[in-house]
């Protein structure tokens, strides 16, 4: 008897959220905060689109036209919903936002969100503003901000303290250095727009917080942290364990964090999907006596509340909430469905997370977590089939290697795009890291559970310290195995998209023998190579002068091709300046040689003459398009007579008051000024 041929379902039919997620992402990407006057129109459009979608969905006889209306009305309703979610999550649209009273308030009442974080010269306070004080009137206000208190007279503060702060708020802004991390945008996406630098004398402690006045989540968190601090005496181990268990990074060693990043295992520090997976493995191990497939769902249902308890104890950091939410949705899906669709459940988890917290779309942690899970779901089985070991231990180790390789397929391009490196030793490092993380997490939880039994807890702490020290030494050794060239990789946005098109096309071709997919991958590869060639041609032709914006310091570089010539600046710079200012610029400008200038102060850049003025110049005429004032003492009238400059550049090493005085004097002489400390780095290029 003949059977009807079965048509294979398309991917968007087996994974419905594949059609629902793109319009949501589009609405988030296209959101702009300065369009409050259009909110009513957007709300109306969202309601209208939804009504059209519901109305046409109930039409009995569906035609191609009605199906098209259903599709597009749903897409538009999701797009407008995402936009509105962004709008209502944006603190600037709140009537009581602190930014509305910045020009009128005398002071603000704020509550300390967490314990002060120690910086080099200040204590960093993260505060939630609750009230604005204007003369004798106190009004409601809200918003989160940063306060930096200079150490020399900083008062002793703790989480929950209520403070009265002066209205010395400054808008958070970037320094304008080329390719520097966009800190202002990062803070804005976390609804933080203001900061201030004050002395301890400017703070009035309105009310000291009592431990019992804190939310129970924070009380549990503090108690657990105190147990670790009481029993673990090694600072590096304590900092690592606090970060891994509770996302508390105030004691993390900077060099150790850098080593973890360069070996591709920095994800074990922040609470993420790896931690949640280990918790699930522990629960599954404890419930190992449940072996029948029919009751496998019990393991997922039992793990979900335990995981959320852990997230609460950890203080509910965003990365942990994201990971737990994603696991909960995936776990419920696997438990309830006979044939679970992991891809669709992953997309559903991302959909729900972005509806509630749309700005998480821009979180690097969210992107890496989502892409890593997706990559494992897509590539783990094909990679695992490369080898079939007979030994049970070998199978377990090969499974861990297969997971690491599968995750790296889609994660690697994103890591190169954001961090400019490819950890060549990622397979070894990740296998060891997951083993270490599993053992350390178990030991940390045992230590907290046994903290009342001093000798047992002390023994666990000693074992934890020894293991941590061994592992850290191993990480430092692995760090030096990577080639320097793999720490200076770059991808543009276009190149990143093309890489993913190549990966997708080749994957579809291998799995489904699709010639169009192979053809698309080939075209994308050709375009990628062309893009790389274009970038390198532009790099070889580049010529620019950069006056960096470095607080109380000066650095001037002449960039020609792939060489950076230091015209002015210290021979050695501090680690922070090197990592956050110079390295981003040098990597993205593809600088492979750095040298000190032995020439005079007059250089020619981009068809303009630049003079670096280190001392007063008299009795001569030196026409210059740009004069960089490298001295505190300057006669503006004489500078105008000698140089006739088009632009006077004031470096950031001069004090704010001195720079303002020079700017005012230059303005009186009709000289255009670029104050690096205020206007950002000065860049002169073709």
DSSP string, 12-34: HHH-THHHHHHHHHHHHHT--SS
Q: Which helix (H) or strand (E) holds 611?
A: strand 608-613
Per-residue pLDDT band for 417 (boundaries 50, 70, 90) equals very high
Split at pLDDT 50, 70, 90, the class of 551 is confident
> Which of 32-41, 250-259, 516-525 has the highest average model confidence (pLDDT)?
516-525
Contacts for 336 with CB less than 8 Å, ≥ 6 apart: 297
Least confident window among 124-133, 179-188, 292-301: 292-301
Q: Are 202 and 165 in contact (CB under 8 A)?
A: yes
Among residues 581, 658, 566, 571, the alpha carbon closest in space to that of 612 is found at 566
Transcribe 448-499 into DSSP letters: HHTTTSHHHHHHHHHHHHHHHHHHHHHHHHHHTTS-GGGGS----HHHHHHH
Give per-residue burial for 449-474: e unless 16+ CB within 10 Å, then b.
ebbeeeeebbebbeebbeebeebbeb
- Report how far residue 140's alpha carbon sits from residue 95's, in angstroms, rounded to the nearest whole number: 10
**pLDDT the model gives residue 1:** 44
Q: What is the predicted pLDDT for the residue at 423?
A: 79
Does the pLDDT of residue 6 top 50, yes or no? Answer: no
Q: Which residue reads 């509550």 in tokens?
A: 111
Q: Over range 328-347, report the average pLDDT.
A: 76
pLDDT-derived band at 394 (thresholds 50, 70, 90) equals: confident
Tokens read off for 160:
């929950």
Query: Using CA atoms, how far apart are residues 494 and 517, in angstroms rounded to an integer?
Result: 19
> Mean pLDDT over residues 139-168, rounded?
93
CA dist., res. 413 & res. 402, Å (int): 18
- SS3 readout for 83-130: HHHHHHHCHHHCCCEHHHHCCCCCEEEEEECCCCEECCCEEEEEEEEE
Residue 122: pLDDT over 70 = yes
- State the DSSP H helix or E strand holding residue 164, giving kind and residue range, or none if neither: strand 162-166
Mean pLDDT estimate for the chain: 87
Q: Which of 653, 673, 655 is nearest to 663 (CA)?
A: 673
**What confidence score (pLDDT) does residue 13 get?**
64
What values do phi and psi take at 388, rounded to 5? -125, 80
The secondary element (H helix, E strand) that includes residue 318 is helix 318-336
Which three-class secondary structure state does DSSP give residue 206?
strand
- Classify the C-alpha dihedral 339-343-347-353 as positive or negative: positive
For range 280-296, the mean pLDDT = 71
> 38 or 676: whose pLDDT is higher?
676
The pLDDT-based confidence of 395 (bands split at 50, 70, 90) is confident
Q: What is the largest CA-CA distance in the chain?
A: 108
Convert the pLDDT of each residue in 439-450 to its tens digit: 888 898 899 889
Question: Stretch 477-482: mean pLDDT, rounded?
Answer: 79
> What mean pLDDT do residues 665-684 have?
92
Nearest to 19 by CA among 47, 43, 53, 42: 53
Render 43-95 in DSSP notation, one character per residue: HHHHHHHHHHHHHHHT-SS--HHHHHHHHHHHHHHHHHHHHHHHHHH-GGGST
| pLDDT single digits (tens) 589-636 | 999 888 888 767 889 998 899 999 888 777 788 889 999 998 777 788
pLDDT, tens digit, 9 for 90 and up, residues 212-250: 777 787 888 888 888 998 999 888 888 888 888 887 777
Cβ neighbours for 402, distance < 8 A, ≥ 6 positions apart: 380, 383, 384, 386
pLDDT at 546 over 90: yes
**Which of 40-44, 54-58, 245-249, 583-587 is predicted with the least confidence, judged by mean pLDDT?**
245-249
Token representation of residue 323:
């990971």
DSSP 8-state assignment for residue 151: G
Of 176-185, 279-288, 438-447, 478-487, highest mean pLDDT = 176-185
Is it the case that residue 252 has pLDDT exceeding 70? yes
Nearest to 354 by CA among 21, 640, 54: 21
Are 101 and 134 spatial neighbours (Cβ–Cβ below 8 Å)?
Answer: yes
Q: Would you say residue 166 has pLDDT above 90?
A: yes
- Per DSSP, the residues of 508-563 read HHHHH--HHHHHHHHHHHHHHHHHHHHHHHHHHH-EEEEE---TT---EEEEETTE
CB-neighbour burial class of residue 136 (10 A; exposed 0-12, middle 13-18, buried 19+):
exposed
User: What is the mean predicted confidence (pLDDT) over 555-564?
Assistant: 92
Q: Tens digit of pLDDT for each residue in 649-662?
A: 999 888 888 888 99
> In a 3-state reduction of DSSP, which class is residue 198?
strand
Q: Name which residue leads in pLDDT, 645 or 336.
A: 645
| pLDDT value for 5 | 47
Tokens of 517: 């997919």
566-581 pLDDT, tens per residue? Answer: 988 877 788 778 888 9
Measured at the alpha carbon of residue 584, what is the angle toward residues 581 and 590, in degrees to the nearest 5?
130
Grade residue 24 by pLDDT with cuts at 50, 70 and 90: very high
């Amino acid at each position: 008897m003949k059977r009807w041929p079965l048509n294979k379902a398309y991917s968007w039919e087996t994974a419905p959220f594949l059609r629902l997620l793109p319009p949501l992402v589009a609405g988030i990407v296209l959101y702009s905060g300065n369009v409050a006057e259009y909110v009513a129109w957007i709300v109306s459009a969202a309601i209208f689109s939804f009504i059209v979608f519901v109305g046409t969905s109930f039409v009995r006889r569906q035609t191609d036209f009605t199906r098209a209306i259903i599709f597009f009305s749903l897409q538009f309703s999701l797009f407008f919903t995402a936009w509105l979610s962004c709008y209502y999550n944006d603190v600037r649209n709140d009537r009581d936002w602190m930014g509305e009273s910045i020009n009128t308030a005398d002071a603000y009442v704020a509550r300390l969100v967490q314990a002060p974080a120690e910086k080099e010269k200040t204590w960093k306070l993260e505060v939630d503003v609750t009230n604005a004080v204007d003369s004798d009137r106190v009004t409601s206000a809200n918003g989160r901000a940063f306060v930096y208190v200079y150490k020399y007279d900083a008062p002793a503060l703790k989480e929950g303290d209520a403070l009265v702060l002066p209205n010395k708020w400054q808008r958070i802004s970037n320094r304008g250095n080329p390719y520097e991390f966009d800190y202002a945008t990062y803070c804005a996406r976390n609804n933080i727009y203001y900061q201030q630098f004050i002395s301890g004398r400017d703070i009035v402690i309105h009310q000291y917080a009592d431990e019992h006045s804190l939310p129970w989540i924070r009380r549990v968190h503090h108690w657990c942290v105190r147990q670790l601090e009481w029993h673990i005496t090694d600072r590096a181990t304590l900092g690592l364990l606090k970060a891994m268990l509770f996302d508390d990074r105030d004691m993390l060693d900077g060099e150790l964090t850098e080593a973890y990043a360069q070996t591709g295992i920095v994800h074990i520090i922040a609470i993420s999907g790896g931690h949640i997976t280990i918790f699930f493995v522990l629960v599954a191990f404890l419930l190992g006596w449940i072996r029948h497939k029919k009751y496998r769902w019990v393991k997922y249902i039992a793990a979900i509340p335990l995981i959320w308890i852990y997230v609460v104890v950890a203080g509910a950091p965003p990365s942990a909430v994201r990971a737990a939410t994603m696991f909960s949705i995936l776990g419920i899906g696997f438990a309830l469905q006979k044939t679970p669709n992991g891809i669709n459940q992953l997309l559903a988890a991302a959909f729900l997370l972005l509806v509630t917290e749309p700005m998480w779309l821009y979180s690097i942690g969210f992107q890496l977590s989502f892409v890593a899970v997706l990559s494992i779901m897509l590539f783990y089985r094909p990679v695992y089939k490369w080898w079939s070991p007979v030994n049970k231990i070998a199978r377990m180790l090969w499974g861990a290697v297969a997971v690491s390789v599968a995750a790296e397929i889609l994660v690697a391009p994103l890591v190169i795009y954001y961090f400019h490196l490819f950890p060549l030793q990622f397979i070894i490092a990740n296998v060891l890291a997951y083993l270490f993380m599993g053992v350390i997490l178990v030991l940390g939880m045992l230590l907290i559970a046994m903290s009342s039994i001093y000798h047992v807890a002390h023994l666990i702490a000693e074992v934890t310290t020894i293991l941590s020290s061994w592992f850290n030494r191993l990480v430092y050794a692995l760090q030096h195995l990577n080639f320097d060239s793999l720490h200076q990789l770059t991808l543009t946005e276009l190149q990143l998209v093309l890489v993913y098109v190549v990966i997708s096309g080749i994957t579809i071709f291998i799995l489904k023998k699709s010639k169009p997919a192979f053809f698309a991958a080939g075209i994308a590869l050709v375009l990628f190579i062309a893009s790389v060639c274009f970038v390198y041609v532009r790099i070889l032709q580049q010529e620019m002068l950069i006056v960096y914006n470095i607080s109380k310091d000066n650095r001037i570089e002449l960039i020609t091709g792939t060489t950076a010539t230091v015209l002015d600046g210290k021979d050695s710079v501090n680690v922070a300046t090197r990592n956050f200012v110079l390295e981003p610029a040098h990597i993205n400008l593809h600088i492979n040689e750095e040298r000190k200038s032995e020439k005079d102060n007059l250089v020619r850049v981009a068809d303009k003459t630049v003079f670096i003025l280190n001392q007063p110049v008299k009795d001569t005429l030196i026409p210059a398009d740009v004069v960089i004032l490298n001295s505190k003492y300057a006669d503006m009238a004489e500078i105008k007579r000698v140089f006739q400059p088009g632009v006077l550049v004031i470096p950031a090493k001069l004090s704010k008051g001195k720079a303002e005085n020079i700017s005012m004097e230059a303005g009186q002489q009709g000289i255009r000024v670029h104050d690096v400390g205020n206007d950002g780095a000065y860049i002169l290029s073709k």
